[in-house]
Amino acid sequence: MADKIEGYEVLAGNLRQRGINLDHVEARLRAQVIETPSWGYGNSGTRFGVFKQPGAARDVHERLADAAKVHEVTGVCRPVALHIPWDKVEDYEALKAEAADLGVEIGAINPNVFQAADYQFGSFGHRDPAVRQKALEHMEDCARIMRATDSKIMSLWFADGTNYAGQADLMQRKHFFEECLQKTHDMLPDDARMLIEYKFFEPGFYHTDIADWGMAQHYARKAGERAQVLVDLGHHAQGVNIEHIVAFLLDEQSLGGFHFNNRKYADDDLTTGSVNLYEVFLIYHEIENAVLRGLGGNIAYMIDQSHIVKPKVEAMIQSVLNIQTAFARALLVDHGALADAQAEGDTVMAEEVLREAWDTDVRPLLAHVRTEIGAAANPLAAYRSSGYFKRIAQDRQGVLEGAASWG
């Protein structure tokens, strides 16, 4: 039985008075799933250097343990994304069993075709067929890992691009990508899908081969029916309306997933919601608007962040809490009142309908739901009082032989 949460009964009464179906809202919150990334628990850095932290996970086993702790206190983070070869092991079936013993599971598999020296001038877009073949062979390895771990998603991001005009034939590179992505699609397990991520710049500053959502959608449609677009919140130019992109992709049934983070200037990989949580709320609102039309789709909600300043596990918990908050508030939007205001051209009232949901303090609601599913009412406080960080800071000393990661 859930613990009694201060303020929950008052909030529940207020929501019912507003005509909110509280049982439906709570059921949706209990069913929420947020995947955390293995690499978010390890040391990471900027293009200027890597900054070590006490207790940072050194290999995939420690990363899984940290992810399990996040799931323990939040209750919604069972899947853990792997990055290959950073999380490479000899026995992936054993790794799957290890994850299950910890209370988590293997999520998306993320191939790495940007770090090896051969990929300096691209992977799928490289002019040398031998390099493209190397990248395809890595995709095939990742497809085998998916089968061994029962992963249902291959998440694809490419650093391919150029830095100078005339450096490469852009049309030719497009054809290379079409061919290689089709081949990758055909390697997937029958019940799996691949998500194609885009980024408008970096590390290629003249052009990036998959620069925006339209290009990603084009490649997905060319690749096959189990390919979709992945939206990373940090991979856009200043001022881009991401919720508009989300609505468009949902209507086209092309949206496959998100990489949640936050940005101030570029791809900052900050804690989700630390700069603009209202944007996440508006994104979830567009998703709920699509759900009402039967277009919600099979969306994978994944975090992709680089925690350089904050402690790794605490930063991940913060992101999860902010995502839960945005989702809960989006579930409280009165869509009937919103539709009436829109039909009457009442711009002020339409915005006020959204603001009423946004301004609602959903913390008691989320605490209630968490206790119902056996998690902590206050996950961050529970983590801090658990002594987990003190233990891992003591236990994780030195470098593990054979361990690999960004840092």
**48 — phi, psi (to 5°)?**
-95, -15
Indicate the DSSP class of residue 6. Answer: T
pLDDT at 115: 93
Q: What is the CATH number of domain 33-333?
A: 3.20.20.150
pLDDT at 406: 58
The domain segmentation of the chain, as residue ranges, is: 33-333
Compute CA distances 190 → 24, 153, 197, 337, whole Å.
Answer: 33, 11, 21, 43
Q: What is the pTM of this model?
A: 0.96
**DSSP result, 360-402:** S--HHHHHHHHHHTTS-SSHHHHHHHHTHHHHHHHH--S--TT
Between CA 388 and CA 143 the distance in angstroms is 34
pLDDT at 184: 98
**How many Cβ atoms from other residues are within 10 Å of residue 95's Cβ?**
21
Instruction: Specify burial of residue 380 (Cβ count, 10 A radius: 0-12, 13-18, 19+).
Output: middle
pLDDT digits (tens, 9 = 90+) for 113-147: 999 999 999 999 999 999 999 999 999 999 999 99
Residues in Cβ contact with 288 at an 8 Å cutoff, skipping those fewer than 6 apart: 330, 331, 333, 335
Compute CA distances 97 → 34, 69, 70, 101, 106, whole Å.
Answer: 20, 17, 19, 6, 10
Between CA 382 and CA 387 the distance in angstroms is 9
pLDDT at 1: 43
Count helices and strands in the chain by DSSP H and E runs: 15, 12
User: Left if phi > 0, otherwise alpha if psi is -120 to 50, otherwise beta: which for 202?
Assistant: left
Paired with 259 in beta bridges are 232, 302
Residues in Cβ contact with 86 at an 8 Å cutoff, skipping those fewer than 6 apart: 38, 39, 42, 60, 112, 404, 405, 406
Query: What tens-digit pLDDT sequence spans the chain (407 residues)?
Result: 456 899 999 999 999 999 999 999 999 999 999 999 999 999 987 777 888 899 999 999 999 999 999 999 999 999 999 999 999 999 999 999 999 999 999 999 999 999 999 999 999 999 999 999 999 999 999 999 999 999 999 999 999 999 999 999 999 999 999 999 999 999 999 999 999 999 999 999 999 999 999 999 999 999 999 999 999 999 999 999 999 999 999 999 999 999 999 999 989 899 999 999 999 999 999 999 999 999 977 999 999 998 889 999 999 999 999 999 999 999 999 999 999 999 999 999 999 999 999 999 999 999 999 999 999 999 999 999 999 999 999 999 887 766 666 55
pLDDT digits (tens, 9 = 90+) for 369-398: 999 999 999 999 999 999 999 999 999 988
SS3 346: coil
Which pair of structure tokens corresponds to residue 55? Answer: 């207790």
Lookup result for tokens 């998690």:
375
